[in-house]
Amino acid sequence: MTKACYQWKKSELNQNIDPQIIKKYKISPLLEKTLISKGYTSEEQIESLLSNEVLFHDPMLLSDMEKATSRIHKAIENDERILVYGDYDADGVTSTTILVKTLESMGATVGWYIPNRFTEGYGPSEAAFRNAHDEGVSLIITVDNGIQGHHEIDIANELGIDVIVTDHHEFGETKPNAYAIVHPMHPDFNYPFKYLAGVGVSYKLSKALKADIPDAFLGLVAIGTIADLVSLTDENRYMVKQGLRILNEQPLPGIKSLLSVADFTDEVSEQTVGFIIGPRLNAVGRLDDARLAGELLMSDDDDEAMFLAEEVDQFNTERKAIVENITNEAMELAEIEMQQNAQFLILAKEDWNEGVLGIVASRIVEKYHLPTIVLNVDIEQNHAKGSARSIEQVSMFEFLTNHSDLIRKFGGHHMAAGMTLDIDAIEPLKKALNQDMHKITEGKKLLPQLIVDAEIETSDITVDNIFDLERLRPFGTDLLAPLFSISNVPVKSVKGIGQGNKHLKLTLTDKNIAALHWNAGHLIHDISNDTTINIAGSLNVNEWNGHQSPQIILKDLALSNDHAIFDYRSKNKQDLLKIDQDNALFVINPSSEKINEQYIHYGDTYPNEVETCVLRDLPQDLETFKQTLSNIKAEKYYLVFKGQTNSYFEGIPSDEKFKQAYKALYMNQSTNIQNDGMKLCEALKIKPDQLKFILNCFYELNFITMNHGIIEINKDAGKTDIQNAPLYQARKQQIEIEKTLLYNDSQSLISWIHSLLSDVEEEV
């Protein structure tokens, strides 16, 4: 049964946009629905979203900015050695690049350092700070980290090193004892926008130090901001929009080379950053020292940049292979856990690369929709270290906090966490978390939520309307690409596409709107032509050979009815073999023999629910057909309706033909059917089969006698309507059966059977 994989959560369209605003900004009905669903209804809100006006808050409004810039200028004037201390993800390396290049352009003596994920972990490293002291560094500037580095910063202070923290992560209970803290969420300052990425803070510091930094840096701001999944509203939106423009017009050599080795030649968008640039920059730090990614972004030489980009791309290729292998192994462990009715998955194994376990955990959650922890087991260190990903209904941070006694160290938020624990604590933690989950679920499956912006009609899906939605780009956190739902959409055609029919392609309604559902090719056997479905997905424009057409990228779908009905009346035997024979119930005509317990006759009752019901034969009558359907509960119904007769096309002779035939027989008194049958057919202008039918009806009503082929009128027979003949009634009934079940158009037949099944459910 094709049911929704998500719980669709639809926005309440309980607000309106002033018609004058709609007219002023030329807002289409589809864009209007989207704006309302996302809470943009006032002119000020809509202006901020649709306009390209500058929205860039004064960098000096950030906490300690004046103090930080003064200290940096002093360091440059005194030729002090400065160290920029970064992070190993895309936000971290872009943050590092911008500040290092800015300081270099100002004549600073500056070096940079990115910690190793595996040997040092996230954030300030005491060893790295001590090493910096040994090399004569007197000023350390952290980017995209540092706000939790209390101990390490205290060590730096003892060593006589000033530390300027630039960060965007959450403050702890106390602030580190840094020389200056440049942070948009600093509790003692009131910066207008709280959700800058690390690269946004680094860019702000650079602008405060030097007003004329290169526009190309905005491209790096766009990359770090999108990759770190921070809010794409307010000034982040402005910087990302400008940054994407820069990435298309004048990208840095490193980005240009990275796109080249990825064979990407289209327009750079937020999706390009999210799926091509960001993952490649992140791949280096996931597998090794992230310094290579920083060197790529800082390179000014095209040849060097291309060499470095190829190395980075190779890391990404390795990363994908490692993720694939670990995911396969983790899936096997997950299947074992699922067989034991696990509600919280903890999957642990030796020799798993810790840098990719967050990706693996996300894939496990996507498949099973259960909170998941994936751990690498290190026997030598006697600990397990890894990543956790959650579902909307469960706060991973709260769950782990409740059992912090079993965990050495952890940190995170509602949807994700990282942790280290003793190997011996894995099983107790698994047991405790599963007990917690069972209390929440009470045996019920928690469906993931799908935020739907608006319910629309197929008439809304036009090329112009879809292009109008593009005005909202870039999409991202707090401004997701709009998702729409459509109910009761007729399916015109169904087919699998891609290698091994991995994906599903539907053609919808008489408008021939294409709908693609990636990795859903298996549904081809669950959806038939003329089925009606409910769908949720995004809209885009497909361009092919210069022709533009609207297209839906499906996120989820469900049958509009509780049953799937497949019209197999014209299918060949090979198609019938595709039906799951082992889990099917076959309904056959009483004239056919039952092969085994999976076969029942029309009129029989079947007490058990079945997955598949195959209506193999035509029934003896429609009332029995309806009665049989009322006694069967199935998810899928296959309409085959084999039958030997063809009464529908043979029809029933008209009353006039019956009268003419009787008159001819009466006039002859005695007729030898063998000698005179064809003459009689010619005289009546009917076929032999029709004559035979007429004579048999006469015989049933005792109008004639038959004796060795000699037909005589029975003058003693009483008057009666020819339609009272059992044969006449049987033919009439058979025609009705064939008309309804064999020769009805597919959509009408399926709708009729759906209505029968619905009537049964209402009675129940």
507-552 pLDDT, tens digit each = 998 788 999 999 999 888 888 777 889 999 999 999 988 899 999 9
Say if CB 561 and CB 750 are below 8 A apart: no
Mean pLDDT of 621-639: 92
- What number is the average pLDDT over the span 574-596? 84
Q: 646 or 498: whose pLDDT is higher?
A: 498
Cα–Cα distance, 616 to 263 (Å, whole number): 53
Mean pLDDT of 199-210: 98
HSE-CB at 268 with a 13 A cutoff on CA atoms is 28
Q: Where in the chain is the domain with CATH 1.10.10.10?
A: 649-724
79/444: higher pLDDT? 79
Whether domain 59-314 has CATH 3.90.1640.30: the reply is yes
**Phi, psi torsion values for 546, nearest 5 degrees:** 80, 0
- Please state the rounded mean pLDDT for residues 608-624: 92
- Strands 416-422, 383-389: pairing is antiparallel
Residues forming a β-bridge with 410: 419
CATH code assigned to 341-447: 3.10.310.30
* pLDDT bucket at 762, cuts 50 / 70 / 90: low
Please give the order of strands across the beta sheet that includes 564-567.
Answer: 564-567, 633-642, 609-617, 584-588, 599-601
Predicted confidence at residue 696, as pLDDT, reads: 95
What DSSP state is assigned to residue 725?
S
> Which range is least confidently modeled, 235-239, 431-435, 646-650?
646-650
pTM for this prediction: 0.82
Tell whether omega for the bond before 474 is within 30 degrees of 0, i.e. cis.
Answer: yes
Whether 195 has a pLDDT exceeding 80, the answer reads: yes
Q: What is the pLDDT of residue 760?
A: 61
3-class state of residue 205 by DSSP: helix
The CATH architecture that domain 7-19+451-560 belongs to is Beta Barrel (2.40)
CA–CA distance, 35 with 453 (Å, rounded to integer): 9
What are 326's two structure tokens?
């670990």
How many CB atoms neighbour CB 302 within 10 A?
Answer: 13
Question: For residue 424, what pLDDT band results from cuts at 50, 70 and 90?
Answer: very high
pLDDT > 90? residue 747: no
Query: Binning pLDDT at 50, 70 and 90, where does residue 5 land?
Result: confident
H/E element holding 557?
A: strand 547-559
Over residues 20-46, the pLDDT tens digits come to 999 999 999 999 999 999 999 999 999
* Count of CB atoms situated within 10 Å of the CB of 354: 20
What pLDDT, on a 0 to 100 scale, did the predictor assign at position 406?
Answer: 96
For residue 592, is pLDDT > 60? yes
**E-assigned strands of 360-442?**
372-378, 383-389, 409-412, 416-422
Q: Quick one: pLDDT at residue 668?
A: 87
649-724 to CATH, choices 1.10.510.10, 3.30.450.20, 3.40.50.300, 1.10.10.10 = 1.10.10.10
> DSSP state, 60?
G
Segment 370-407, tens digit of pLDDT: 999 999 999 999 999 999 999 989 999 899 999 999 99
> How does residue 764 score in pLDDT terms, banded at 50, 70 and 90?
very low
More reliable by pLDDT, 470 or 413: 470
- State residue 692's pLDDT score: 95
**Residue type at position 694:** I
The predicted model gives 416-440 an average pLDDT of 94
> For the chain, where do the domains classified as CATH 2.40.50.460 start and end?
7-19+451-560
Task: Report, as an integer, the average pLDDT of 179-202.
Answer: 97
CA–CA separation, 88 vs 82, rounded Å? 19
CA separation for the pair 488, 475 (Å, rounded): 29
Residue type, 319: R
Q: Which residue has the tokens 């860019």?
A: 203
**Predicted pLDDT of residue 298:** 98
The residue type of 378 is: D
Torsion of CA 183, 187, 193, 196, to 10 degrees: 30
Structure confidence at residue 761 (pLDDT) = 56
Residue 656 scores a pLDDT above 50: yes
Q: Is the pLDDT of residue 644 over 60?
A: yes
Both tokens of 457, joined, read 């009609």
pLDDT over 50 at 431, yes or no: yes
Read off φ and ψ for residue 444, nearest 5 degrees. -95, 150
Compute the distance between CA of residue 11 and CA of residue 59 in angstroms, rounded to an integer: 36
Q: List the single range of 290-304, 335-349, 417-431, 634-648 with lowest mean pLDDT.
A: 634-648
Between CA 295 and CA 228 the distance in angstroms is: 20
Which regions of the chain carry the CATH code 3.10.310.30? 341-447
Residue 622 pLDDT? 94
Residue 345's nearest CA partner among 366, 316, 318, 365 is 365
For residue 763, the model assigns a pLDDT of 52
